[in-house]
Structure 1
Amino acid sequence: MYILHTAHLPLHSYFDVESMFSPQELLNPYPHKPRVTYKNGRFKLSVFSDLHYGEAEDLSWGPEQDRNSDTVMRAILKIDPPDYVVINGDLITGENTFRENSTLYMDRLLTPLINANIPFSSTYGNHDNRPNISHLAEMEREVKLAPLSYSRRAPPGVGGIGGEANYWVPVYADKSARSPCLVLWFFDSRGGYTSGPNSTALPDWVDESVAPWIQQESAAMDSAWGSATETGRQALVFAHIPPSTMRKLQQSLNSSKEPGLNADQLGSGSTQGSNNPTSVGKELAWWYAVRDYIKNIHATVHGHAHGNEWCARDPSTSIILCFNKHTGYGGYSSPDWGHGVRTFDFKLGEESAHTYIRMQNGSTHAEVVLDKQYGI
């Protein structure tokens, strides 16, 4: 029996409908949305990260930051229009907003994407889980507002409390392709606090329940579309808080081979499971499932550390891990860091990915090709 994903029913409703649909059609989480496709053999994806709307909304400098964030989003979309956008966490500084207007900031930050008619999806960060806001509330507002939002809720029992945003998005070579050539995976690293009056701290790692779900989904993809190893189906992985292995990578970073701003020293609270000694290694179930079941990963992509932009290969898994670029004017920063996005440019049939940092003023830097030789 194949799995029919639907956008209008709870995720992973199961039906025996093999006589009605081909296996490829059955494994489709977005039957009522346009296919995400390459354009003339190219697929450009830009990552907006750490926008932090709503910070200090009752002071003059908070709204000014939001206006500047509006400007950088519009500028990037005009200078270097992508085919797809990922918003990789900390959309809103939830601790500074009021319950009655928290999700309304979603209306503002999504407006440039809606006006540009660009498909997109989100992960959510530790500042998106607060007493007056939650990942789920932001997602529900996003999906309601934006027809081209591909964010969706994980099935019941996957992700833990405050970690509802675990899902994947298929990307096809063209509208008629029977199976995708690229899969975008999104994982919820949680963090922050539960919503409501009796708020408590949330774990800051991808929940262990996500690991068997990855195995299940990967098996379903192989069954419907053929083995990723044999077909060459590629992957790109997103989670807001970086895994703890990035702390080790930073210690041996070679700026000539692994370029990009490296101004944010990773320490306590900067990677998954690092808030206290009892949570160390808690993300490993997820991380090992990514390693073991998601094949042909171009990179895993993370935010949270606003002053970092580099990509480095983890020698223990051979996976390349990348930081985004701090996009928003909210959140901590430094005048010399600037604001922009990380962009990925894929060419159909190539196993490598070209990636670079695009700044608000249109300049680019830290351009590298992520291939089998990168970081070796």
Structure 2
Amino acid sequence: MTKISEKALWFKELSGDKPLVIAGPCSAETPDQVLEIAHAIKNMATIYRAGIWKPRTRPGGFEGVGAIGLKWLQQVKNDTGLLLATEVATAEHVDLALAHDIDLLWIGARTTVNPFAVQEIADALKGTDKMVFIKNPVNPDLSLWIGGFERLQNAGIKKLGFIHRGFSSYEKIKYRNKPEWQIPIDLQIRFPEIPLINDPSHITGNRDLIQQVAQKALDLNFDGLMIETHCTPDSAWSDAAQQVTPMQLGAVLSELVLRDISSHEDSYLHEMQRYRTRIDDIDTQILKLLKDRMQIADEIGLLKKAKNVSVLQPERWQEVLIKMKREGKENKLGEAFITSLFKAIHDESITRQDHIINRK
């Protein structure tokens, strides 16, 4: 079974044919805490992660122990042989991390949104052979994520990777950060050779949900997991709710199912082609129905123009959405899917009608 096909050679050598596991506390807190966790997970993880500098949205929170924590990480490497990873947000962080032989440096979501900061880090990393991973920006912007990657690539860094930690969302959802799975899927399609790691801790914000998100990531051909781990997570100095104990980490990893990317068995290929043909036919029907629907929306636009009526009809839109959610539920279709689908259809209808009404 091979999960890491078509990946860069350096990553294959690092991970073998299994997903890469990066684990450790959200924050380094004390020398004893850092070492205790490391010894507890040394047989489960390849890379030990710990936050040394912690970017916080508002002042007054714990912002990390600072450079002294890098010496604690060096002791981890000496005692356990684990590789080391930490987040960097400035050129100074980079210089200190390199001076303390940190093996993997990652750029956090808050830093990725700032091209100036990413460029500063890229310049500081020129000439290094360290692994450098970039997390997705806090907002769902694939171009911004790729732009950060390209700045690092242009700096001559060879061992590059992506970390998917989800995206901030104004709406209330069960996760801390919305996965927006299509964005990392699009990233994989564009950069199939670059490793993509999932961070279920930051996506969920809840240790009880980490298993299901980690499994979904592997089912989507992610190349590894970064899971925050703490011996006493409830007393952690940061992000307590999303950290697991070493025992819980072992349970999560042992329950993961690794699947083949594909199968070359004739029976599988035959059945898959049969299903895909049916899907292609249905997709064609969907497009035909959407075309018919938009033609009716255009006719409504002409009627509104003739009678000088505004494009947006909020009551009608709510009526449609409530009806479709109800019928979607009856047809075992998720509410979030139905909402997204009909919002897209409604947006397109509004755009077309607005063009008709304001056309001269």
TM-score, structure 1 length as denominator?
0.36
With a CA cutoff of 8 Å and minimum separation of 6, indicate the structure with the bigger relative contact order.
1
Instruction: Give 1 or 2: higher strand fraction.
Output: 1
Instruction: Give 1 or 2: higher helix fraction.
Output: 2
TM-score, structure 2 length as denominator?
0.37
